[in-house]
């Protein structure tokens, strides 16, 4: 078992419960790690034998493009999409951070992190 990390994916998206959040959007950061059997690819050196991080990034970008009210919802969609995209993935961990959320006072970011093992 090994892990593949795709960190600091920057996306501008339109998530939130407030009407203005879905109109003006905000900056987001998404961090993902997945676990699976990397033993074949570590020997073969072939992309077809591994968990493709380009595919993971595409899953994140596509799901972030669909607005959700809650970060939990978009994180779950990303998680589900990654499982569907690669049969090699056994575990997914997704962290979605909203940069500079509309909260009184200075808050750099808020985040939700979900973890799930293949069923």
Residues serving a catalytic function are 98
One-character DSSP codes across 94-105:
EEEEEES-S-SS
Residue whose C-alpha is closest to residue 78's, from 61, 96, 98, 60: 60
Gap between the Cα atoms of 116 and 119, Å rounded: 9
Gap between the Cα atoms of 103 and 11, Å rounded: 20
Do residues 36 and 86 touch, judged by C-beta distance below 8 A?
yes
């Amino acid at each position: 078992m090994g892990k593949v990390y795709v960190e600091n994916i920057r996306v501008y998206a339109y998530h939130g419960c407030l009407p203005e959040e879905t109109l003006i959007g905000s900056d987001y950061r998404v961090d993902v790690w997945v676990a699976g059997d990397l033993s074949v690819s570590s020997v073969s050196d072939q992309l077809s034998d591994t968990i493709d991080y380009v595919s993971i990034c595409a899953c994140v970008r596509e799901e972030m493009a669909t607005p959700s009210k809650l970060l939990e919802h978009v994180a779950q969609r990303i998680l589900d999409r990654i499982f569907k995209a690669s049969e090699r993935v056994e575990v997914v961990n997704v962290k979605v951070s909203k940069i500079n959320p509309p909260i009184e006072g200075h808050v750099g970011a808020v985040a939700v992190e979900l973890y799930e093992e293949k069923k």
